[in-house]
Amino acid sequence: MSSFKVALNFEDGVTRFIDCKAGEKVLDAAFRARINLPVDCSDGVCGTCKCRAESGRYDLGDDYIEDALSEDEKAGGLVLTCQMVPQSDCVIAVPTSSTACKTEQSRFVATVAKVEPHNDAAVVLELDVDATAPVFLPGQYVNIDVPGSGQHRSYSFSSAPGETKISFLIKKIPGGVMSHWLEAARPGDKLDLHGPLGSFYLRDAQRPLLFLAGGTGLAPFLSMLKVLARTAPQQKVHLIYGVTRDLDLVQVEAIEAYTAKLPNFSFATVVAHEDSTHPRKGWVTQHIPADALNDGDVDVYLCGPPPMVDAVRKYFDDEGMQPNSFHYEKFTPNVVARAA
Ligand SMILES: Cc1cc2nc3c(=O)[nH]c(=O)nc-3n(C[C@H](O)[C@H](O)[C@H](O)COP(=O)(O)OP(=O)(O)OC[C@H]3O[C@@H](n4cnc5c(N)ncnc54)[C@H](O)[C@@H]3O)c2cc1C
Ligand code: FES
């Protein structure tokens, strides 16, 4: 049986070669070689395993959904390693460091410390973790088993690594499995978590940063801001936080506090609903100041529901704006995604 050599180029400059048997998926071949590439669903649904194929022929199959890999991304050479079957030797750029890929995904138990509702928009969930809590990168997420449901949901850490409590900002979805559980959750309740996961995380701040958050897509930015405040880099950091309704704006005071903690931090809130009296109406893309783009020498981070993420990416493409780097996370709903 023939096999193909696949070079995995990691962000930290490390290259590892793996042998991929004919018909074998890259993720499985990497796993045999004890390299834990980013992965969550293994099913072509979440997009967590997305990498860039820089050379070679391969088959991506039809077994993945558009939210995990769009036609444009496919045309641009992006691949899902959980689906990709090489048909020649290939080179793949992995958007994470080699050290992160050797880290096992861990499971751990946490205890509910606080459940704090914000209007009918969102809930802040705070958990106590023991010594086995995961080391994570600001921006990453974790899967939380919803007790008694046999299902899990993904949530981005809104707390920073190294804290004894971890926290999440969770949108209230009427009738949602996690949302329903949270209504009756009490301090002391136990939760099983597995992770950390994802290649959406804050890289070294070497140029201005533009953060674009949609709804509870604010969560990973809260984590990133906490980490940035520890080193207070001189780079400009501009956050645009867009929501649908006025009451969806949560944690604004926490964001405001960073204007004192981070030397070059600024932010703007934006509300889309036509009935809103907010001073800035519309979409986040209508409120990006030219200087926040720094003529393209900017690292853009984008997080929110899939339609918002797609709209913002399309906006950048349509405007011909090419930032130095562009990182995004889609809060794909599990239920819709798996039924698609
Ligand atoms: C990588 C990743 C990170 C995520 N991080 C966060 C986070 O930090 N905070 C957060 O709030 N969410 C986050 N999500 C989304 C989260 O995992 C759940 O999908 C969401 O909380 C709904 O869970 P639920 O159990 O309450 O509702 P479900 O039981 O999953 O859904 C109930 C019904 O509501 C629909 N639905 C689900 N979400 C929405 C929505 N946003 N708008 C309208 N209808 C919806 C479903 O399709 C379904 O029909 C993340 C998702 C991913 C993939
Ligand atoms: S791990 Fe490949 S799409 Fe989810």
Output DSSP code: residue 208. -
CA distance readout (Å), 167 to 82, 218, 221, 250, 333: 29, 13, 13, 14, 20
Query: Average pLDDT, whole number, for the chain?
Result: 90
How far, in Å, CA of 171 to CA of 179, rounded? 8
- What pLDDT is attached to residue 104? 59
- For the Cβ of 111 lying below 6 angstroms from any atom of ligand 1, the answer is no
Helix (H) or strand (E) holding 258: helix 252-261
340 — pLDDT class (breaks 50, 70, 90): very low
251: left (phi over 0), alpha (psi -120 to 50) or beta: left
pTM given for the model: 0.84
3-101 and 209-338: same fold? no
Task: Return the ligand 2 atom nearest residue 42 CA.
Answer: 1
Q: What is the pLDDT of residues 82-94, one digit of tens each?
A: 999 999 999 899 9
- Tell me the two tokens of residue 15: 């290259």
Check if CATH label 3.90.220.20 holds for domain 3-101: no
Task: Return the ligand 1 atom nearest residue 151 CA.
Answer: 25
**CATH fold of 107-197:** Elongation Factor Tu (Ef-tu); domain 3 (2.40.30)
How far, in Å, CA of 337 to CA of 334, rounded? 5
- For the Cβ of 176 lying below 6 angstroms from any atom of ligand 1, the answer is yes
Query: What is the DSSP annotation of 84-128?
Result: -EESS-EEEEESS-HHHHTSPPEEEEEEEEEEEEETTTEEEEEEE
- Name the residue of 46, 154, 303, 328 to mutate for ligand 1: max ligand atoms within 8 A of Cβ: 154
Closest CA to 313 of 293, 285, 290: 285
Q: Is the pLDDT of residue 133 over 70?
A: no
How far, in Å, CA of 332 to CA of 283, rounded? 19
Task: Return the ligand 1 atom nearest residue 180 CA.
Answer: 26
CATH of span 209-338: 3.40.50.80
Output DSSP code: residue 304. E
Q: Which residues line ligand 2 (CB under 6 A)?
A: 39-49, 68, 80, 82
Distance 46 CA to ligand 1 centre (A): 12
How far, in Å, CA of 254 to CA of 81, rounded? 38
Number of Cβ within 10 Å of residue 181's Cβ equals: 18
Q: What is the pLDDT of residues 222-252, one digit of tens each?
A: 999 999 999 888 899 999 999 999 999 999 9
- For the Cβ of 332 lying below 6 angstroms from any atom of ligand 1, the answer is yes
Ligand nearest to the CA of 308: 1
Closest CA to 240 of 258, 218, 213: 213
Distance 331 CA to ligand 1 centre (A): 7
How far, in Å, CA of 180 to CA of 182, rounded? 5
- What pLDDT is attached to residue 267? 97
- What pLDDT is attached to residue 93? 93
Query: Hey, where are the domains in the chain?
Result: 3-101, 107-197, 209-338
Q: Is the pLDDT of residue 337 over 50?
A: no
